[in-house]
A = this chain, B = another copy of it.
Amino acid sequence: MAHPKSTFIRPLPGEALPIHNRPDEWKIEQGLSGGKLPILDQTGSETRIIAPQKWPDVVKDEAAIKAVGDPEKLFKRELEGWKGYVEWEDYPEKKNKARRILAAQNFPPNPEFQMGPIPDSNPVLPGTHWKMWHHAVGGELTDVPEDSWATVLREKHPEMLHLLQFPYNGEPPKRLVTDKAVTPNSLHFVRNHGGIPLIDKQKFYFNLDGLVANPRSFTLDDIMDEAKFPRVKKVVTMQCSGTRRIEQISLYAGQGDEVPQAPWAEGAIGTAEYVGISLKKVIKACGGLLEGAKHLELYGAETYFKDNDVMNYVVSVPWSKVKANEVLLCWEMNGEPLPAIHGFPLRVMVLGYIGARSVKWLYRIKAIENPSLAPVQSKEYLYFNQQTGKYNQKPTDGIQIQEMPVSSAIMSPWTKQVVFHNGTIHCKGWAYSGGGRWPERIELSADGGFNWYAVPNSSMSPKHKWTWRTWEFDLPCDVEGWVEIVCRCWDNSLNTQPLTVRAAWNWGLHVTSSAHRISVYSVNKSHARTKEKLQRFVEMDSPLAPLTWPEEFPTQSWEEYKQFWKDNDPRDVDD
């Protein structure tokens, strides 16, 4: 990338001139292949160039791996009837063995998806590392990536957009996100952090331990006993803190791991009716909490990886949230048993929190003093200040993301779309606020956020404490050309959204809560000239789309052209 010192040698006539710069240099210079850009180090007396990492060859110390032992024995199924479940948290020595296996080899890099072009494929990203890590540890984990994908294909709608194949992350296409106010199970987004355990309902139980008076375990039959636990039925909207992350990625690249930072669009939100019981009652059934207990740690049976450490999926919620009956243990989703991909047979539903706290395949609840130190809770899902990033971040800089702030999104039209209309553009979308707040007003702007129209109440779905509202609106738009349609919501606490992505951009690319902006090319047929010109496209059989394809006919006669410059000032003055 440094200015080459080579002399410019003029070749002999007819001889091809060698091109010295990289074929893709123009794109690199324009930030269109940003992953290939070197760092400029201006901290010394001369600017130094630090080239991007060259990936080392894949190396594997077979002897060191073999010395660890037989994976089939070391990492076996923890419980009969729990396919894909390996217990890690109870066995530090087992964790250590898996760590030795991972540390004895390296893995090829994940594909760059932020600074390079996102692939034209579905699944969009493969989940390279996570598949390899499962296969490398082996034992009960060996078949997990393939089993999980089979579950995706069995349980999810054929129209799902598969963002990440493994661990499975998928969302419905825009046209289906707000198609129904309650999302069908097959179309509900899925954001898994590991493989999908396949659990035999008859063999299922979970433990409640830690700082409780009487630790014990519960089967499904136990918690379904309505004499002991009042049953709760609730329509709940769940949102991933990664929803709309693609907007942050498109502005600035951030932390680039495939799994923690999957490039979600606006579909990582879904609404379903759940049946279950309040976790508070289960704790009561254990005699209540002991002195000092202030948080509940929740354990999921899937395997999670972080910095060569292998573990189960563990997060925590504060006791205050449980005490308010806002943490449920659920077994039914939209009138059906939970799908395997959504946590069968039992999952947590933390109302108004990010989806990551609603642990699936729940097998343990532990009462503890402080928020969990498990890395998903302590080191990920952190909301950093804009000045925090790769070269200076510490986990204590981040706000732990629990409740989601107010947000909204436009589901139609789509950004970059051309819309022919008669003076109003028909828009549809959703709005949501976490923590039990709800959308009170939804506003749209066709001028980038200068003037705002309110969506009438009659065009919004009914309001409820824990759910989104879907909406439709005919947005007045006189102007033609590229317009910026912006949507924002005000919740019942009068919280509203930051107006720009930059105002809320953060290194972990979480919580894209800024007003949703799309660029639409407005063609207003109520303007006489536009109407006439559209007619001419039809007469001339000239393609209307794509926008970039030019008209294939003269757009003005010479007669009209010359008359115009007679009637008006000269086109180019000369005196």
Contacts and interface: CB of A to CB of B under 8 A. Distances in A.
Interchain residue pairs A-B with the least CB separation, the first 6: A256-B548, A318-B574, A53-B543, A31-B416, A34-B416, A31-B415
A556 B378 CA distance: 11
Contact of A37 (B252, B253, B417, B479): B417
B318 A556 contact: no
A307 interface: yes
Contacts of A57: none
Contacts of A17: 153-154, 156, 158
A320 B570 CA distance: 13
A419 to B, nearest CB: 5
B320 A545 contact: no
A390 B548 CA distance: 8
Interface string A242-259: 000010000111111100
Given A122-B21, A320-B574, A419 B42 contact: yes
Given A42-B420, A53-B546, A387-B480, A573 B392 contact: no
Contacts of A565: 370, 396
A366 interface: no
**Chain copies in the assembly?**
2
Given A29-B173, A38-B417, A373-B561, 4 more contacts: A20-B158, A26-B122, A320-B574, A392-B529
A26 B480 contact: no
Overall SS of chain A's interface: loop
A546 B112 contact: yes
**A480, A482, A552 — which one has the most chain B CB atoms within 10 A of its CB?**
A482
Nearest to A113: B548
A35 interface: yes
Contacts of A448: 502
Contacts of A575: 294, 320
A276 to B, nearest CB: 22
Contacts of A479: 387
Contacts of A115: 416, 546-548
A77 interface: no
A118 interface: yes
A39 B572 contact: no
A92 interface: no
Given A565-B370, A572-B318, A389 B549 contact: no
A521 interface: yes
Interface stretch (A3-11, A132-140, A435-443): A3-11
Nearest to A38: B545
A92 to B, nearest CB: 15
A259 to B, nearest CB: 11
A375 to B, nearest CB: 9
Contact of A392 (B32, B121, B175, B533): B533
A19 to B, nearest CB: 6
A414 B31 contact: yes
Interface in A418-453: 418-422, 424-426, 448
Contacts of A50: 420, 544-545
Interface in A1-58: 3-4, 8, 10-11, 13-14, 16-43, 47, 50-53
A179 interface: yes
Contacts of A395: 555-556, 561
**A22, A253, A402, A552 — which one has the most chain B CB atoms within 10 A of its CB?**
A253
A92 B83 CA distance: 82
Given A109-B549, A481-B388, A555-B393, A39 B417 contact: yes
Interface in A314-358: 316, 318-321
Interface in A375-411: 378-379, 386-396, 400, 402
Given A159-B20, A319-B574, A120 B27 contact: yes
Contacts of A420: 39-43, 50
Interface in A238-291: 246, 251-257, 265
A362 interface: no
**A10, A26, A43, A479 — which one has the most chain B CB atoms within 10 A of its CB?**
A26
A299 to B, nearest CB: 18
A150 interface: yes
B176 A3 contact: yes
Contacts of A157: 8
B574 A295 contact: yes
A161 interface: yes
Nearest to A505: B482
Given A14-B150, A564-B396, A571 B370 contact: yes
A568 B32 CA distance: 42
B256 A421 contact: no
**A19, A29, A546 — which one has the most chain B CB atoms within 10 A of its CB?**
A546
